[in-house]
Amino acid sequence: MAYYSQQATRLAQIEGFATLTAGCLLLAAFVAALRSVATHSEPWSSLMFGTGMATVMCLVIANTLWDASAFTTVIERGYVIDPRSHLLLEDSGFTFLVAAGAMGAAFVAATSLGGLRDRLLPPWLAWLGLPVAAALLAVYWYLPLFVFLVWIVLISIVSLRSGATVASVNLTGD
């Protein structure tokens, strides 16, 4: 395939792989940290953590499959990619992205419902999670990934602000 015949193109794709892998590591840290901030009750806490980590794993697998052809052409000099095999890898990666959307929907819903139940998330943010979860079921069109990122940013800001409030209360002895 002509796309992989240029080294700069292969290296750019591998750089994208590294960037997305780093993002997945940050998402895993976010899921782990969120478990102690958003909900404490079961089954919400375990469901949130399990589906959050499943989301991360599906994204890692999708990323790996999408970049397998680029890695192969860098590692195996002179390798000629069969377009049908390449398409199978790419489509398998896309399938894992769709699975990540389903797991992400369960993660956002469990976080929202658990956070609402335990009163650890503001009600507006907990309720906002439900349409975000529904949107993730349509990740086939990619746009819900941006909605998911906005939700992550909002949850992070609220968690940091509430953490600062708790820390200041503890420092003052109240």
Q: How many domains does the chain have?
A: 1
Residue type at 142? Y
Whole-angstrom CA distances from 7 to 10, 18, 79 are 5, 16, 13
Q: Is residue 63 part of a domain?
A: yes
Whole-number average pLDDT of the chain: 89
Q: How far apart are CA 127 and CA 84, in angstroms?
A: 44
pLDDT, tens digit, 9 for 90 and up, residues 3-51:
767 778 878 889 999 999 999 999 999 999 998 788 888 999 999 999 9
Cβ–Cβ < 8 Å for 24, 62: no
Q: Is residue 172 part of a domain?
A: no
Identify the pLDDT of residue 1: 64
Averaged pLDDT, 120-145: 96
pLDDT, tens digit, 9 for 90 and up, residues 53-73:
999 999 999 999 999 988 888
By three-state DSSP, how is residue 122 classified? coil
Residue type at 78? G
Whole-prediction pTM value? 0.87
Range of the domain at 110: 2-166
Q: Is residue 174 part of a domain?
A: no
Q: How far apart are CA 43 and CA 39, in angstroms?
A: 10
Q: Is residue 120 part of a domain?
A: yes
Of the candidates 58, 148, 39, the residue with the CA atom closest to the CA atom of residue 96? 58
167, pLDDT greater than 80: no
